Amino acid sequence: MSDLVKEVRIGIIGMGRQGKIHSRNIVSRIEGARLVCVSDIYIDSAKEFVASLDRSIDVYEDYRDIIKREDVDAVIIASPTTTHEQVITDAAIANKDIFCEKPIAPDLATTDRLIELVEKTGVKFMVGFNRRFDPTFKRVKDLVVNGNVGEPQILLITSRDPAPPHLEYLKASGGIFFDTTIHDFDMARYLVDDEVTEVYATGNVLVDPRVKEFGDLDTTMVTLKFKNGAIASINNSRQAVYGYDQRVEVFGSKGSAQAFNETPNTVMLFDEDGVHSDKPLYFNEQRYPESFVNEVSAFVECIRNNTAPPVAGIDGKIPVLMAMAAKKSFDENRPITIDSIQAEVKGGNTR
C-alpha cells in the first residue's frame, strides 16, 4: 500500500474465538480501520455473529472471495494453522498486507518459505503474539529498556491456565511447548531483548492422566540461557484452580520489575480469618483484552504509516525453534542449544 493511508480495509479469515475478538475490536475500538468482510467454512454461524456487529459486512464461505476483492487492503488470518500456508501464499501474491495468528505454519521449512515469500512480495507481515501488547507487560519492558533494573540477570515467567482444554484440542495442539509455552518463549525474548542460546525442559502429567495417551505434558518447567548471560525460568500448568496465573519478573543489576496477576478489582478484605481478595481474571479474553486491541492497532498503524511491523516473521519463527529445543530436551533429558536445532533443520532432520 502507498504512504499515508487514511483507512485500512480489512478482511478476516476464520471466525472462531480469535476472529470474533478481532472483529469486535475493529468495528468498535480500532481507529483507522474498517472491517469489510469475513470468511468461515461455517458460514451460517459467521453470518449470525456478523449481523450482531454490522450488517454491511460481507460474509463468505471461501476465503478466496476476500483475497480477490480490490477493496480489501489487508487480511487477518485466524483460521486453523493447517490452512496458514495456502492463505498466506494467496494473500501475499494478491498484495494484501497480512496479520497472522501464531504459529505461521506447522513446520519450519514452510515457515521459512512463507517468510521469504512475504519479503519478496513486499507486503507487511505481522505475527500475533498479543502479550507483547499487554499494558502491564509493556511497562515491564519499558523499565528494562530504560535501564531501571540495570542489566537483566534473571527472568521468571509463570503462566498457568485455569482449566485444561478439551482432549480433542490437546490432541491437535502440537504439545504444550508449542501451544502454551510458545507465548512465554516470545515473552522471554521480548523482555530480556536478547536471543536464547540453550534450553532445558522437564515436565510431567499431573492434571489429567489421559494426556499421556498422546505423548503430551500438562505441567512443565523450562530453563533458558541467553547470549548476554542472563537466565530464565518458565513454569506452565494446564490447571491452576485459583484462576489464570500470569506473572513475570525481570531481576537485574539495579533492581527488579515485577508484574502480578490482575483481578476484577483491587479490594482486599482483612478479617480474623486472614486477608482475602478476588481470584485472578479467568482466562485470556478477560486478562488480555487490551492486548488484542493494541496488536491490531499496531498492525493498522504500520500500514497507514508504511513502517515495519513490530512483530515480524522472524519473531514467529524463533519461538518455534525454542519449542523444538524444549521438546527434544525433555525427550533426551539434557540441555539443547538453539544452534543444534537450526543445524538439524538445515540438515532436514526436524523429528
Structure confidence by residue, pLDDT tens digits, 283-302? 988 999 999 999 999 999 99
- Computed over every residue of the chain, the mean pLDDT equals 95
For residue 141, the model assigns a pLDDT of 98
Residue 140 · residue 250 · CB < 8 Å: yes
For residue 168, the model assigns a pLDDT of 85
In the chain, pLDDT over 70 holds for what percent of residues? 98
Instruction: Mention every residue, 6+ apart, whose C-beta is less than 8 A from residue 189.
Output: 195, 196, 315, 318, 319
Residue whose cell numbers read 480490490: 70
pLDDT band at 3 (very low <50, low <70, confident <90, very high): low
Closest CA to 232 of 205, 193, 203, 284: 193
For 215: left if phi > 0, alpha if psi spans -120 to 50, otherwise beta; the answer is left
For residue 16, the model assigns a pLDDT of 93
Cα 157 from Cα 136, distance rounded (Å) = 14
Give the DSSP H/E element, type plus range, for residue 327. Answer: helix 313-332
Instruction: Mention every residue, 6+ apart, whose C-beta is less than 8 A from residue 173.
Output: 165, 179, 216
For residue 6, the model assigns a pLDDT of 84
Residue 67 · residue 90 · CB < 8 Å: yes
Give the DSSP H/E element, type plus range, for residue 316. Answer: helix 313-332
Amino acid at 253: S
Cα 85 from Cα 34, distance rounded (Å) = 25
For residue 290, the model assigns a pLDDT of 97
Checking if the pLDDT of 190 tops 70, the result is yes
Return the half-sphere exposure (C-beta side, CA atoms, 13 A cut-off) of residue 71: 6
> Pairing relation of β-strands 152-160 and 231-237?
parallel
Closest CA to 35 of 48, 45, 20: 20
Which of 128-132, 158-162, 223-227, 346-350 bottoms out in mean pLDDT, i.e. has the lowest? 346-350
Query: What average pLDDT score do residues 102-112 get?
Result: 91
pLDDT band at 4 (very low <50, low <70, confident <90, very high): low
Amino acid at 99: F
For residue 349, the model assigns a pLDDT of 65
For residue 347, the model assigns a pLDDT of 79
What DSSP state is assigned to residue 211? G
Return the half-sphere exposure (C-beta side, CA atoms, 13 A cut-off) of residue 250: 26
Cα 27 from Cα 49, distance rounded (Å) = 13
For residue 284, the model assigns a pLDDT of 87
Checking if the pLDDT of 164 tops 50, the result is yes
pLDDT digits (tens, 9 = 90+) for 235-275: 999 999 999 999 999 999 999 999 999 999 999 999 999 99
Dihedral over alpha carbons 134, 140, 142, 147 (to 10 degrees): -170
How many C-beta neighbours within 10 Å does residue 181 have?
A: 28
pLDDT band at 303 (very low <50, low <70, confident <90, very high): very high
For residue 350, the model assigns a pLDDT of 56
No. of helices (H) and no. of strands (E), the chain: 13, 15
pLDDT band at 2 (very low <50, low <70, confident <90, very high): very low
